[in-house]
Structure 1
Amino acid sequence: MPELISPTARLAPSFSEAVDEFIAEGRGSEDDHSLTGQMIRDYVIPARGGEWVGEWVERYLADEARWQTEPPENFVTMTMLWWVDGDEYLGRISLRHYLNEHLLQIGGHIGYDIRPTARRRGHATAMLAAALPRIAAYGVEKALITCDADNVGSRKAIERNGGVLEDQRGDKLRFWVPTV
């Protein structure tokens, strides 16, 4: 049964396969402003052709762990969790402990990705449901969650978890979701 866990190098092979799936669908380009796109540009592309998968994954995980207490400039503290089923990486969810102006406009408290081969099986809905009590522990009573206006699957996952559409800003839909 899938569950949320702290990221672990133990799942490096499965995580790397998922990253390859994201790259195959076009993620990681300069116009991909998602956390997954940034991770591909910062860790995967430089490692290609030399590093063993576990090396770049361990560096990535060490840097991500610092986000809980020492985020990069212009970012907020964040907890990342992985959605896994045994040894299979299915997706990730990022819980931002508070909002800055950018996140209030288009990023929100929660961001997530499901690997392409695991989509359309209810994982986003279940992962989000499992994460809501965790973000409530940071004092967030209503979480802002955004998605691209054309991302029907993400919109359904948010709405299934009680999300109420507030508005659309640019190409982003903004929902407020109760956490308790």
Structure 2
Amino acid sequence: MAGCGNNPNKKSAQAEAVVTLEVDNLLADAEQLTGKEVVVEGICTHICRHGGRKIFLMGSDDKHVIRVEAGEKIGAFKPECVNNIVRVTGTMAEDRIDEAYLADWEQKVKDQAAEKHGDGEAGCSAEQQARGETVASSTAKRIADFRARIAERKTKEGKEYLSFYHIQGESYEVLE
């Protein structure tokens, strides 16, 4: 058997080939890709100025946006990402917003303990855009909008939560 040419320790080139997804395709298949390694390319529209730990990649338009969080290997994204095509390798993750999440958020706001991100009370507009929100003027408005969207999803799909996806980035490169 040793002379048959089959080496069980050698992976085929086809098995090693990694498909690079565009943001639109990634978002369309997000639920099935959750927990899996993905490679995605998109135009970086924003880097969070709070340490450069998040970037946002846009697909065909501003309705197709995915957040990428810097993993330990990345540390922080470099400013040259913005307005360039960036390829990211990482793990697809799901974030769920449900009533318990919203009630906790409201309590934190009441306790003046809510994390501030962005320039105003409503938070970072890039984050809101990635979640398909209209840019709201206040946290209370955002919470009310989430509740309305959860109620709509419960009626249509029987699910009492909203799913949002992001990539936990392990590596990246600026392509243009």
- Is TM (by shorter chain) over 0.5? no
Select the structure that is richer in helix: 1
Structure with greater contact order relative to length (CA < 8 Å, sep ≥ 6): 2
Select the structure that is richer in strand: 2
Question: TM-score with structure 2 length normalisation?
Answer: 0.25
Question: TM-score with structure 1 length normalisation?
Answer: 0.25
